[in-house]
Amino acid sequence: MNTPEGPPPERLRTLPSRLTNGAALIANRIVDQALAQAGARRYHYALLATVEEYGPASQAALGRRTGIDRSDVVAAVNDLAAQGLLERAPDPDDRRRNIITITPAGRKRLADLDRLLAAAQDAYLAPLSPADRRTLTDLLTRLVEHHA
């Protein structure tokens, strides 16, 4: 993370929180570029993956499970429903809310996005050996779960 003036001070270069943030920015850029090639966004992938793995759910439950704001869930579900990837239907137990389900086209799209994201992960982790990749994933998982 050098600037035109050179590297930042040592105490900044070695802060784990700063390094994690810098790595996250790079990872997000790589993932966003991969998804953009397919005309998708991270929210699209998160919603498709969540409904595919956990089954039909309300928009509010999807927002809670994915950490996506309610209004963003609505907008992303609208996008995905317009593409025929998700279906929205009134909840038979509570007509005030909708239940979201994935369509066969949505499952196919998710598989395509999985392949794109696997390639993006490989690009991001290119300088690491397979063992280092597993170690990094384990360490990051422990940090996130500890602070969740």
* DSSP structure string for the chain: --BTTBPPPHHHHT-HHHHHHHHHHHHHHHHHHHHHHTT--HHHHHHHHHHHHH-SEEHHHHHHHHT--HHHHHHHHHHHHHTTSEEEEEETTEEEEEEEEE-HHHHHHHHHHHHHHHHHHHHHTTTS-HHHHHHHHHHHHHHHHHH-
Task: Check: CB of residue 106 under 8 Å from CB of residue 52.
Answer: yes
Query: How many Cβ atoms sit within 10 Å of the Cβ of residue 54?
Result: 11
Model-level pTM?
A: 0.87
Q: What is the mean pLDDT of residues 76-89?
A: 97
* Rounded mean pLDDT, 63-84: 96
Does 3 score more than 80 pLDDT? no
The architecture in CATH of the region 32-147 reads: Orthogonal Bundle (1.10)
Q: Which residue has the higher pLDDT, 91 or 128?
A: 128
Instruction: With cut-offs at 50, 70 and 90, classify the pLDDT of residue 96.
Output: confident
Delimit the domains of the chain by residue range: 32-147
- Cross-strand bridge partners of residue 135: none
Structure-derived torsion over alpha carbons of residues 26, 21, 73, 107, reported in degrees to the nearest 10: 50
Instruction: Decide if pLDDT at 2 tops 80.
Output: no
Structural tokens at position 39: 């005309």
The string of pLDDT tens digits covering residues 14-43 is 999 999 999 999 999 999 999 999 999 999
Q: Lowest-pLDDT range, 4-8, 24-28, 72-76, 96-100? A: 4-8
